[in-house]
Amino acid sequence: MPKKKLYRLIVDALHDAKAKDLVVLDVRKVSNFTDYMVIASGTSTRHVQSTADRVIEQLRSHGQRTLGVEGLDVGEWVLVDFGEAVVHVMRPQTRDFYNLEKLWSEGKPVKVAG
C-alpha cells in the first residue's frame, strides 16, 4: 500500500472515531523505523481504546496488518505500529506529559484535511 494512502486511511479512521488534535509528522529524514508519526487525543480511556480499535479495524479492512499494538488494555496511550506509520492515541494529560510533537519536532508536519 502506498505510504500516503496508508496515513490517509489512518487519518480518516481517526476522524470517524472523533479523535481530537490530530497531527501527522513526516519523520522519514529523522527516523529509521517509520515514515509517519500520527498523534491524536481521545477524551477518555474508553475513547482512546475505541479510537485505536477503529484505526486497526479500518486498516485491516484494507488488507493492512499491525506489526504491534501496545496499551490497548489500559487506554492512557495506545500505540499502533503499521511499519510505515506509527499511530499514537492518548489522553490529553498523557499527551501533554510526553509531548511527542516536541520530541519529533524535526519531522515535517503534514497538512491534514478534515
What is residue 5's predicted lDDT score, i.e. its pLDDT? 84
3-state secondary structure of 11: helix
Q: What is the mean pLDDT of residues 25-46?
A: 95
CA dihedral 48, 7, 11, 77 (to 10 degrees): 10
Split into its structural domains, the chain has a count of: 1
What is residue 108's predicted lDDT score, i.e. its pLDDT? 87
Confidence check: pLDDT of 91 > 90: yes
pLDDT band at 1 (very low <50, low <70, confident <90, very high): low
Domain range for 73 is 3-103
| Ranges assigned E (strand) in the chain | 20-26, 36-41, 68-70, 77-81, 85-90, 108-110
Report phi then psi at 63, rounded to 5.
85, 10
Grid coordinates representing 23 are 497531527
The whole-angstrom separation of Cα 42 and Cα 92 is: 7
The answer to whether 107 and 23 are in contact (CB under 8 A) is: no
CATH number of the domain bearing residue 9:
3.30.460.10
- Choice among 4-8, 65-69, 95-99 with the minimum mean pLDDT: 4-8
Asked if the structure places residue 77 within a domain, the reply is yes
Asked if the structure places residue 112 within a domain, the reply is no
Q: Is the entire prediction scored with pTM above 0.85? A: yes
Asked if the structure places residue 108 within a domain, the reply is no
Tens digit of each residue's pLDDT (9 = 90 or more) over 59-85: 999 999 999 999 999 999 999 999 999
What is residue 14's predicted lDDT score, i.e. its pLDDT? 97
Asked if the structure places residue 29 within a domain, the reply is yes
Confidence check: pLDDT of 112 > 80: no
